[in-house]
Amino acid sequence: MSNNQVQIFDTTLRDGEQSPGASLNIDEKVEIARQLERLGVDIIEAGFPISSPGDFEAVRRVAATVSDRITICGLTRAVPKDIDVAWDALKGAKRPRIHTGLGVSDNHLQHKLKKTREQAMEIGVNAVKYAKSLGCEDIEYFTEDSGRADKEYLYRVIEAVIKAGATVINIPDTTGYMSPEEYGALFAGVLNHVPGSENIILSAHCHNDLGMATANSLAAVKAGARQVECTINGIGERAGNTSLEEVVMALHTRRDIYQVQSNIVTTEIYKTSRLVSTLTGILVQPNKAIVGANAFAHSSGIHQDGILKQRDTYEIIDPATVGISESKIILSARSGRHALRDRLSKLGHEFPNDTDFERVYARFLNVADSKKVVYDEDLDAIVSDETSTAPQAFELVQVQVSCGDHAIPTATVKLRNAEKAILLDADTGNGPVDAIYRAINRIVQVPNDLIEYTVQSVTEGIDAMADVTIRIKAEGDMIYTGHSAHTDIFVASTKAYLQALNKQIARVSGRKQEERILEHV
C-alpha cells in the first residue's frame, strides 16, 4: 500500500450496530454491505461471529456476497474458540481478516480482565499465533483503551504481537478520552519506539464521548496512521464512533493538510447514509456535517445571494460530490411512471424487480392525492416503507380510531396473518395510539414494552407525511425498531409498531428453530 493511501475500515455492521436499538436482520446487513462495496470501503467488519448464530450467519453471508477487492473482518476476543468460530464464518471470503486483542490500560487489566500486564500480553501473543496457525495471513490486533494505557507497556505489547504475526495494529481511544494532540502523539510514539511498526499498518479507532472522534482520527492520520475505523453517520455505542463521511470528506477537501487519499467513491456517501439511517431507525440530525438535511441548506438572504452568484462563497463542498442533487422535480398525481422512476433513480433507488416499483408507484399516487406535491423526502420515506425487508407475520388491513375532547379513545384494528386469515379486535387506551397498540396486542399476543415513540414531519406544511419510529423491548432486553411514514399519523403509527412486532416474532421463531435443531444434535 502506498504511504499516501489511507484504508477505510467500516465497522457499521459491528460497532455501529451496538447502538441501542440499532438491531439489523441478516438481509439488512447484507444490503448495507453491498452499499459499502459501492461506496468503496477497503475493509468491512461484518460482525462478532461467536456472539450469536445471527452474527455468525451475517458474517458468513457478507463474506460470500461482496467482491474480492474488499477485506472481510470478524471480531474476536483473544480466545481460541472465538478465533475458530470467526475463521469458520470467514471461510467464504477471498480476503479474510481476524480482529482480536485485549485491553492494555491498568483500568481494564485490573477491573475487566483481572490479569497482570505480563499475563495479558502472553494471552494476546498466543491469540495472534493461534490465528496465524489456522492459515490467517491478515491479523489485526486491538489494544483496547490505549488512550489511558501506560505508553511503555503499550509499546511492549505492540512489539510482541507484531513479532507474533499481527499485520495491523488498532490503537483505539475506546472511551473517547483523548485530545487530537495526545492521540496524534500516541501514533508518533509507536512509530518512533516500536521496532517493526514501520512495516505494518497502524489503525485509528475513536469514540466520540467528547465530540472529538473525527479530529482525533485525522490527527492520527497526520502522525502516520494508514487505516481509519469508522461508521456511517458516526453511529455506535454511547456517543458513537468516528463518522466515515466526515473523515473522508476532510481528507478529500483538505488534501493540502493531510496529503493522503482514500478509495471512497464520494458520490455514494449520501445514499449510504440514508440507507443506514432507514434500516437502523437512527435518524440523522439535521445539522450533521456532510449528510444532514441542513448541510447544504441556506436560509439567510445574504447567503442565498452569495450562493446564487458563486457557489463556493458559502459552500466548501459541492453537494454533488457526496451524491446530493441540487435540482428538485416537483412530482404530483399527474406524473407518470417514467417521471417517478427517473426521480427515484436520481435519489439512489433502483428497482430491478418491477413488482417493488409498482408497489411504490401505487403508494406514490395515494400520497400525491393527499398532499398534491410529493417531495424527495416523501419519496425516500415511501420507498423505505414499501420495500422493507422486515418479515411479515402480520400486516395491516385497516385501522379505525375514535377520539376527541370528551371521548374515550377507541381503536379497531384489522390484520392479516401469514396464513392470510383476517383478524379483528378493538380496545381503548389513554390516547388513540395507545388504543391502537392495545388492540394489536390483543390479536398478536407477543409480550413487549414500548420504550420509544417518535414522530417527525417528513416535509413542511399541514399535508406533510408523518414519519414514525418506535422501539419495543422484549424478553432478554432485546430491542426492536419499527419505522413507517404515511399522511395519516395513525396509519404510520400502526405500521411502525407492526414492523417492530414482526421483527420480534421472527427472532423468537428463529430461536425456537435453533433450539429444536440443538435437541436433535
Nearest to 488 by CA among 366, 383, 331: 366
3-state per-residue secondary structure call for 440-492: HHHHHCCCCEEEEEEEEECCCCCCCCEEEEEEEECHHHCEEEEEEEECCHHHH
DSSP E strands: which ranges in 22-81? 43-47, 71-75
For 291-314, letters b (16+ CB in 10 Å) and e give beeebbeeeeeeeeebbeeeeeee
Give CA separation, 253 vs 258, 267, 291, 365, in Å: 10, 14, 15, 41
Cα gap 48→13, rounded to integer Å? 9
- Cβ-in-10-Å burial (0-12, 13-18, 19+) of 247 comes to buried
Contact by Cβ (8 Å): 491, 520: no
Q: Is 17 helix (H, G, I), strand (E, B) or coil?
A: helix
Nearest to 384 by CA among 267, 326, 468: 468
Q: Are strands 139-144 and 410-417 parallel, antiparallel or unpaired?
A: unpaired
| C-alpha 98 chain-centroid distance | 21
Q: Count Cα neighbours of 315 within 13 Å in the Cβ-side half-sphere.
A: 22
Which residues have a Cβ under 8 Å from the Cβ of 486 and sit 6 or more positions away? 385, 465, 466, 492, 495
208 belongs to an annotated ligand binding site: no
205 belongs to an annotated ligand binding site: yes
Grid coordinates belonging to 345: 433513480
Q: Is 75 helix (H, G, I), strand (E, B) or coil?
A: strand
Question: 53-65 and 80-89 are packed helices; what angle lies between their axes, rounded to 10 degrees?
Answer: 40
193 belongs to an annotated ligand binding site: no
Cα gap 296→290, rounded to integer Å? 8
Nearest to 209 by CA among 175, 242, 185, 183: 175
Q: Are strands 227-230 and 479-486 parallel, antiparallel or unpaired?
A: unpaired
Contact by Cβ (8 Å): 50, 59: no
Which residues have a Cβ under 8 Å from the Cβ of 242 and sit 6 or more positions away? 204, 205, 206, 207, 208, 213, 214, 216, 217, 228, 229, 230, 231, 234
520 belongs to an annotated ligand binding site: no
Contact by Cβ (8 Å): 339, 362: no
Cα gap 253→312, rounded to integer Å? 13
Instruction: Give binding residues as ranges.
Output: 15, 205, 207, 241
Instruction: Give binding residues for Mn(2+) as ranges.
Output: 15, 205, 207, 241
